[in-house]
Amino acid sequence: MIEVFTDLASRADDFENYPNAHARRICAIADQLGKSFFLGPRDRFSLRVAALAHDLGEVTMNREYIHRQGALSDDERMDLARHPLFSEREAATAGADRGAQLLVRWHHEWWNGSGYPDGLRFEQIPLGARILRVADAYASLTDARPFRDAYSEQQARQHLIEWTGIEFDPRVVRVLLTLEPFNELKGYAENFDHPDFDLIADEIMARLEQLGSL
């Protein structure tokens, strides 16, 4: 089954104009996070499927603005916010289990309840979906998009820290930023800057203490 979703994910990456394998990269990052949270084999499999299927709805919607250069209008943003629902349906059609379907549906939910499509918050959002949100954000930031250059790894980590407790689950951010390096964590910024891991660790601790998450 995973091969089916790998093929579908490649088509979605092409449609979104990702220059590198975006969904498979998210899949690898999410799986490492799943290991760190001691998810069982079945939950990790659902998470990998969801990572590959998370943007299939964008292909179904087939909107020109998804892969053009330039910022989205407010109406386009509202329209794009429907893509998790389309992706959930496409994942079901391709044979994903219900757990994976729901992770796809909720991969844009925010820790503080400001996400979509259902406005879930905190632990209402399944851990797998919170993992997928962080992995998706990091992979997207560190790759080039039609509307911006790739962030450096340092810039992407800083973004995660700044949005911890707002968009992202603080625990998931902390785990991602302390993962041992592996290939899919490497960014594609042309001007690569080596992360200052001591500084990152200090910023994580300060941010989490500010949020009262320790």
Supply the CATH number for residue 100's domain: 1.10.3210.10
Structural domain includes residue 170: no
Residue 206 lies in a domain: no
Residues 6+ positions from 30 with CB-CB distance below 8 Å: 47, 48, 50, 51, 128, 131, 132, 135
CB-hemisphere CA count at 13 Å for 38? Answer: 0
Which residue segment(s) compose the domain that 79 sits in?
2-150
Flag whether 37 is in a domain.
yes
Has residue 25 been placed in a domain?
Answer: yes
Residue 203 lies in a domain: no
The Cα–Cα gap between 213 and 181 comes to 25
Residue 105 lies in a domain: yes
Count of domains for the chain: 1
- Dig out the tokens for 105 from the structure: 């549906």
51 within a domain of the structure (yes/no): yes
Q: 138: Cβ–Cβ under 8 A, 6 or more apart, which residues?
A: 29, 156, 157, 160, 176, 185
pLDDT per residue, tens digit, the chain (214 aa), is: 798 999 999 999 999 889 899 999 999 999 999 999 999 999 999 999 999 999 999 999 999 988 788 888 999 999 999 999 999 999 999 999 999 999 999 999 999 999 999 999 999 999 999 999 999 999 999 998 877 889 999 999 999 999 999 999 999 999 999 999 999 999 999 754 545 555 555 555 565 566 654 4
Residue 11 lies in a domain: yes
